Structure 1
Amino acid sequence: MLTLTNNDITLQQSASDKTTAIKAIAKQLTDNGLVAEQYVTGMLNREKQNSTFLGNGIAIPHGTTDTRDLVNKTGVVVHHFPEGVNWGDGNVAYVAIGIAAKSDEHLGILKQLTKVLSADDVEGKLKQAKTKDDIIKLLNGEVQFEADFNPALIHLNFPATDMIQMSAVAGGLLKNSGSVESQFVAELVTKEVTHLGNGLWLVSGDQGVKRSAMSILTTSEACEYKGLPVKAVIAIAACNDSHRTLLNTISQLVFEQQQTKIFTSTAAELVALFSGSVQQVSVDGDNVATFKIQNAHGLHARPSAMLVATVKKYKSAIKVSNIDGENKFVDAKSLMKVIGLGVKHGNSLQFTAEGPDAKEALVGIGEAIASGLSEG
């Protein structure tokens, strides 16, 4: 796990162009003992091969594969440019993360960083950061942008027979995840629940909450509350505004009278419903293909960029999942999302395509992967 310290971060920097910025970052990597002085040449050459701009005001300059012998120790330095730096093609970087990596362990660094930096409003908060601690908290994910919701926070067909039991178990899921303390569960069982219609109920609390999160509990038993059927309970723990997007989804379901989706879906389908991602796809048509990554160092920034460039040639909506990783589908046209998959040598990627050129897209993607994505 990457651990950032104050020595890794330089605030309030300015640069006339990205070359100047990269040279300053390379000097910091050298001064911190992470790389040899000549590593800057690899960083500049890497930038000539393909831009290291990720999006959302973030760039990740780093060396080429043939300059890894100049790396003494894996690590990063972060430079903050509040006025922005022109990174080419109309892109402006406000934060540049210089990476030194001896082998594919940097994929873990990229995965951690892209997960944090792909969240909404990170760019704005990084631009406005005033202290090194502000930067560290943002990059370490200590600032919550999305409420927690995952399969561990879902329990389907629990044999509950009354509302108090339902609320207690839903609160227990949140406690077991580390999002709340016992105080929250105690509050939840005394709170008045809200009927959302069609057997769906909502309960929430803010006592003893450490991270905003949501849990869902469905029952396999005949259960009623105040004479109305109980099929599922949604419990929300809130300590910031990150749960708002979850509430918006719930409101949309109620508006469309689709409450039954909550207690008729699988855990994976529920996660997909609230994340807006594709989790379930057909595997018996021509819209799915799986390819193994043979690149010696996995999908680091350059081959990831080449893959995304290939995908963007097609009109179809294309998703990709790392079968050997979290097996979660993401937008294959987003460089940050692709890098965030943390794909290593030998991992298998599953692609799904929907659109007018879906079959052609999967063939083209397979050919690009087979060619090595510019690495042979």
Structure 2
Amino acid sequence: MFQLEVQAIHTGASAQNKEEAIRQVAAALTAAGNVAEGYVNGMLAREQQTTTFLGNGIAIPHGTTDTRDLVLKTGVQVFQFPQGVAWGDGQTAYVAIGIAAKSDEHLALLRQLTHVLSDDSIAEQLKTASAEDLRALLMGEKQAAEFKFDTSLIAVDVAASDLMTLQALNAGRLQAAGAVDAGFVASVVSNAPLSLGQGIWLSDSAIGNLNSAVAVSRAATPFDHAGENVALLVTVAASDDRPLEVLGYLSSLLHANKAERLLKADAAGILALLTSEVDEQADMLTAEYTIRNEHGLHARPGTALVSVIKQFNSDITVTNLDGSGKPANGRSLMKVVALGVKKGHRLRFTASGEDAQQALNAIEEAINSGLGEGVA
């Protein structure tokens, strides 16, 4: 994991415009021995090619491949602009992370930083944090334990003919994820779940909750329990209020008599239904494409993909089927890069709107053409 030194963080900076901010960052990289004179020209050129604004007030100015020979050693310099700097397209950057990379070492760093910065609450803190706190935030040292709910905690087509099987499976997965202890498992298995109707059941425990998480198991064939239909069990571990959002989406589906959607979707689809607004209209289309870029979706191809998506009016989400399975807003570069997409990963695009099919066609063409990079 990349280690960020406090000496590389500059708080309370100010700049009249983006170019001035980039020049400050470049000067710091030069002074730190990361780059030679002239690297700033590559940083400015990169900004002309495509914006380095990620979202949530974060920009990552860096050079072009033509100036890579000016990089002496890989490193970063972080500048905090409490008053903000206009970064184009109505976006304001409060933190600029200048990157110098000799080859592709920065890709792991970029994934690490974007994973941390994808938390909106942390991005807000970055504006005024001290250098020590800023470092801790960027390194993830001050993050609350991650809310755990991804496709690894969702089981479909479970060979079960009783609730005990589903209860034990969910509790076991939560324990393996470090979200609950043995007391939780014993409590859940020994207490009957609550029927929510439409084949959906809910279980939890007042004891043994170590971290907030959700597990879901769906029977391959629905069965009866005490005269009620059983198709799917949701088990919740709650150490704070973060599971409430998932329960809110579940409640909305039940209220609209749409729980059947949970019984037909695959694991990624269930995750999307319980973590985001998924269009229910007939014009919702999905498509899956494989990323062939050698280094996956880092900033440059990620920007190209987001740029294509922004050309259309449809709502589009992106899900890394070989990652967490969580859907991300296709219009947010930060969210897309934070998916951690590597070469060979399969992405599911869900589009809803009047130009949904055109959008998916354009996305397919862009991916096949390499998203601005050569692909085999």
TM range (shorter): 0.7 to 0.9
SS of 1:51's equivalent in the other structure is: coil
Q: What does the per-residue CA deviation read over 1:5-41, in whole Å, with 9 as the maximum and x for residues that have no partner?
A: 4344333333333233223323433444433343233
Tell me the distance in 2 between the aligned counterparts of 1:17 and 1:38. 20
Q: Using the alignment, how far apart are the partners of 1:348 and 1:267 within structure 2? A: 14
Structure 1: tracts of 5 or more residues without a match: none
2:222 equivalent to 1:224:
no
The letter for the 2-side match of 1:224 is H
Change (3 A) 1:346 1:33: farther
DSSP-derived class of the 1:148 partner? coil
List per-residue Cα deviations over 1:295-314 (Å, max 9, x = no partner). x7665434433443333223
SS of residue matched to 2:244? helix
Q: Is the 8 A contact 1:146 1:242 kept in 2?
A: no
Deviations 1:169-189 (A, max 9, x none): 322210111223334324434
Equivalent residue, structure 2, for 1:178: 178
Q: Secondary structure at the match of 2:242?
A: helix
Letter in 2 for 1:301: A
1:91 aligns with: 91
Q: Aligned-pair distance for 1:138?
A: 5.3
Equivalent of residue 312 in structure 1, options 310, 323, 326: 310
Moved more, 333-342 or 46-55: 333-342
Deviation at 1:97, TM superposition (A): 1.6
**245 and 32 in structure 1: CA distance in 2 versus 1, 3 angstrom threshold:** farther
Superposed displacement of residue 222, structure 1: 4.7
The answer on whether the counterparts of 1:277 and 1:329 sit within 8 Å (CA) in structure 2 is: no
| 3-state secondary structure, aligned to 1:149 | coil
Matches within 5 A, 1:243-258: 243-258=243-258
How far has the Cα of 1:125 moved from its partner? 3.0
Distance 1:81 1:179, change over 3 A: farther
Q: Take 1:344 and 1:216, find their aligned partners in 2: how far apart are those partners?
A: 27
User: C-alpha distance in 2, partners of 1:90/1:101?
Assistant: 28
- Deviates further, 342-351 or 35-44: 342-351
Counterpart contact for 2:74–2:102, Cα < 8 Å:
yes
| 2:336 aligns with one of 335, 338, 345 | 338
More moved, 90-99 vs 127-136: 127-136
User: Equivalent residue for 2:160?
Assistant: 159
2:180 and 2:211 in contact (8 A); partners too: yes
Partner SS for 1:234:
strand
Give the Cα separation in 2 of the matches to 1:132 and 1:10: 11
Any idea what the Cα deviations from partners look like across 1:98-150, whole Å, max 9, x if unmatched? 22222334333333333332344333232353462455345538624973212
Match of 1:28 in 2: 28
Instruction: Report if aligned partners of 1:293, 1:348 keep a CA contact under 8 Å in 2.
Output: no
1:62 matched residue in structure 2: 62
In the alignment, structure 1 residue 40 sits paired with structure 2 residue 40: yes
Task: Output the TM-score relative to the length of structure 1.
Answer: 0.78
CA distance in 2, matches of 1:88, 1:69: 28
SS in 2 for 1:241: coil
Describe the shift of the 1:69–1:155 C-alpha distance in structure 2 as closer, same or farther (beyond 3 A): same
Q: 1:222 to 1:371 in 2, by over 3 A?
A: closer
Partner Cα distance (1:264, 1:303) in 2: 33
- Say if 1:364 and 1:191 are closer, same or farther in 2 by CA, change over 3 A: closer
